[in-house]
Every structure is written in C-alpha cells, then in structure tokens.
Amino acid sequence: MKLILASASPRRREILSALIPSFEIVPAACEERADLTLPPEEIARSLARQKAEEVFSRRPEAAVLGADTIVYFRGKVLGKPKDAEDAKRTLRMLSGNTHSVFTGYCILCGKNRAEGACETQVEFNALPEPFIEEYVAGGSPMDKAGSYGIQDDARLVRAYRGSYTNIVGLPEEAIGAELRKLGIILGNSV
C-alpha cells in the first residue's frame, strides 16, 4: 500500500525516508485548529489527526501519516514565530530552561487508525544575546515550533531526554513500530 506523508516538512520527509524508501508527499490543505485547553499531548495528536483526515478524505486508497510538533513551556504552547522579534522573545524565554516537545501522529490505513504522541524533554543552554540575534537573522527559526531546530546548532541544547527525531519533527521509533503493525514496513528496520 502506498504511504502518503501529509506534510511539506523537509525534516519529516528526511526522517521518514530512513524508515521507508518510497512514499508520496501530499501536504494537508486544512486550517488546523488547536484546542489549547487540552493537555499538550492531546493538542499535538489532534493537529496530526486533522492533517491525516484531510488528506485521507482525498486519497482513501493510500495509508496517510499526519504529524504535528508543538513546544510546551510553563503551561503554554509555543508555535512557529510570527516574526523575527517573536522568535527572539521565544529563544530568550527558553534560554537556560527545560521545556517539552510533543509530536503527535496519526496514521490512517483503510479502516485502521494508529495515533499517539511522543514527549521529549529539552534543556536549553543559556543563550547569549549575540547568538540569539545571529541565529534569528539566519532565518532558521521562522518555520519551527519554539523558534528553533535542534539540528541547526549544537550551542542551543544542553541535553534532552527522549527521542531526538521527535524534537526534529517525527518520532522515528514510534512511527516505525506503528507502520510495522499496519504492515506498511516489513522487516526489522527501526
């Protein structure tokens, strides 16, 4: 069965390609709506489900994987920054602190549904103001939840507990296990 990734994220594409060599990319066209009163793992799952369901409604013959990543800090969801100043504010807030990254996923395959969310705890280094200015000026934070990508610069993160690929945008271990259960991945790959 053909697998569709319901995301245009190059990071998700790269992680998924380590699990399965051939899949199609069909970004979801829906406007996602987050209920911020839910626990963070449920917010991430709901957003992933919305993406998967929208693409599956157009391509029911395929298996569809939707995913969404949120950063959660002190009771608030930190999404993608609105502009450079918002990115700087977010990085200053996270500097020297620990936050959670949740990636929700939903896989629809015929009448089968597999969904969940993974959490990784991320401890930031104390970020000097010149670093924040340089990092934001480079443009990398602008399309990332929490205004950063762990893969961008080793100076960002002191430590993390959990899945590295979850922080990047797709929990490889959990997705691999779900795709194997659904028969989309065969063998012993991750």
Q: Specify the length of the chain in residues.
A: 190
Helix (H, G, I), strand (E, B) or coil at 152: coil
CA–CA separation, 130 and 137 (whole Å): 11
And the tokens for 163? 């899945």
Among 68, 83, 86, 153, the one annotated catalytic: 68
Q: Which of 42, 40, 55 minimizes the C-alpha distance to 7?
A: 55
Predicted confidence (pLDDT) at residue 172 exceeds the cutoff of 70: yes
And the tokens for 86? 């918002």
Helix (H, G, I), strand (E, B) or coil at 36: coil
For residue 26, what are the CA distances in angstroms to 1, 52, 89, 170? 15, 10, 33, 16
Say whether 83 is catalytic.
no
pLDDT in tens, 84-123: 999 999 999 999 999 999 999 999 999 999 999 999 999 9
pTM reported for the whole predicted model: 0.92
pLDDT at residue 30 in the model: 81
pLDDT at residue 190 in the model: 47
Rounded to a whole number of angstroms, the distance between the first and last alpha carbons of the chain is 19
pLDDT in tens, 58-75: 999 999 999 999 999 999
* Cβ-based neighbours of 121, under 8 Å, separated by 6 or more: 98, 99, 100, 160, 161, 162
pLDDT in tens, 15-50: 999 999 899 999 999 887 888 889 999 999 999 999
pLDDT in tens, 124-159: 999 999 999 999 999 999 989 999 999 999 999 999
Fold of domain 3-181 = Maf protein (3.90.950)
